Amino acid sequence: MATENVSRGPISLTLSRTRFAIGAALGRRDGQAVFGGVTLAYLVAYLWFSDLLAFGGRNGGEFGFVVADDPLGRFFRPANSALSFEPVALVEFGVGTYLFSLNTFVGVAIALLVGLNLAVTYVAWRQPKACGIGSSSSGVLAGIPALLSGAACCGPIVLVIFGIQASSAVLTVFEWLIPAAVVLLVGSLLWVGRQVDPALA
């Protein structure tokens, strides 16, 4: 059983508890399952929302691999919108098509944060004495802006999908979706992690 120094400041306490919560969540099989499942599912959703992963299409059933000219030179080249980068490879895997770019790493980073949020939320949920239902759902809620950040990768295209007329203000919001998602996810992780009491673990 872990112990904690009650004389620590609130920031230190929050970090310590969150670190413990992450360790506890990833140390349990059910926590690992939540983390792995959510991270993978989120990454797929993120790539799909960003138009980097598509299913079906006119060439369904084909397997192929194509690389852009000068892939290393293009890897950090901005593409459709803020924090969006040029695809450098295309993979056809029968039922769909995947475009590889730096955005995959952005997506992985966000997906990991969402996965950790949900895993820690799960641990909090398993500690009913320490946590209420309201707080344990915050990890789920934190995933929403992160998922929306996928829209930032395709900029106004998401507006096409929903038939919304864009404005400069809306485009500005898109530019901030990814950084805002990261901030919200880190904040959410600390918020939920803070409520996991090592003494009850």
Partner 1 sequence: MEGSSRRTFVAAAGVALSGFAGCIGRAGPGAGAQDDEETTPTTTASRPTQQGIPVADDRLPVEYDFEKLREEVLSGGPPKDGIPSIDEPKFRDAGKADDELRPEDVVFGLVRNGEVRAYPQRILVHHEIVNDVVGDEPVSVTYCPLTGTAMGFERGETTFGVSGKLVNNNLVMYDRETDSRWPQVLATAISGTFEGESLREFRLVWTTWDRWKAVHPETAVLSTDTGHVRNYDNDPYGSYVPNRSGYYVRDSPLFPPLGSDGRLPNKRVVMGSRTGSGRIAFDKSVLREEGLLSGEVGGTPHLAVYDSALDTGYVYRNPEGASFGREEGAQGQVVAGDGTSYDPANLPLDRVYAFDAMWFAWSGFYPSTELVGSASESPNADAGLVG
Chain residues in the site for partner 1 (CB under 8 A)? 51, 54, 57-59, 62-69, 71-72, 78-81, 84, 86-90, 92, 97, 99, 154-157, 159-161, 163, 165-168, 171, 174
Tokens coding 114: 């969402």
What residues form DSSP beta bridges with 67?
A: 89
| Residue among 25, 26, 28, 20 at smallest CA distance from 4 | 20
Cα angle: 54, vertex 142, 52; to 5 degrees: 15
**Least distance to partner 1 from the beta carbon of 16, Å?**
42
CB burial of residue 160 (10 Å; 0-12, 13-18, 19+):
exposed
Work out the number of other CB atoms within 10 angstroms of the CB of residue 60. 12
Kindly tell me which of 39 and 149 has the beta carbon lying closer to partner 1.
Answer: 149
Kindly tell me which of 30 and 70 has the beta carbon lying closer to partner 1.
Answer: 70
Q: 144 near 176, Cβ under 8 Å?
A: no
Kindly tell me which of 7 and 165 has the beta carbon lying closer to partner 1.
Answer: 165
**Least distance to partner 1 from the beta carbon of 45, Å?**
17
**Least distance to partner 1 from the beta carbon of 168, Å?**
6
Kindly tell me which of 141 and 164 has the beta carbon lying closer to partner 1.
Answer: 164
Cα–Cα distance measured from residue 1 to residue 142, given in angstroms and rounded to the nearest whole number: 29
**Least distance to partner 1 from the beta carbon of 3, Å?**
48
**Least distance to partner 1 from the beta carbon of 103, Å?**
13
**Least distance to partner 1 from the beta carbon of 150, Å?**
14
Ramachandran angles phi, psi of 184, nearest 5°: -65, -40
Cα–Cα distance measured from residue 50 to residue 154, given in angstroms and rounded to the nearest whole number: 6
Kindly tell me which of 166 and 183 has the beta carbon lying closer to partner 1.
Answer: 166
Kindly tell me which of 16 and 80 has the beta carbon lying closer to partner 1.
Answer: 80
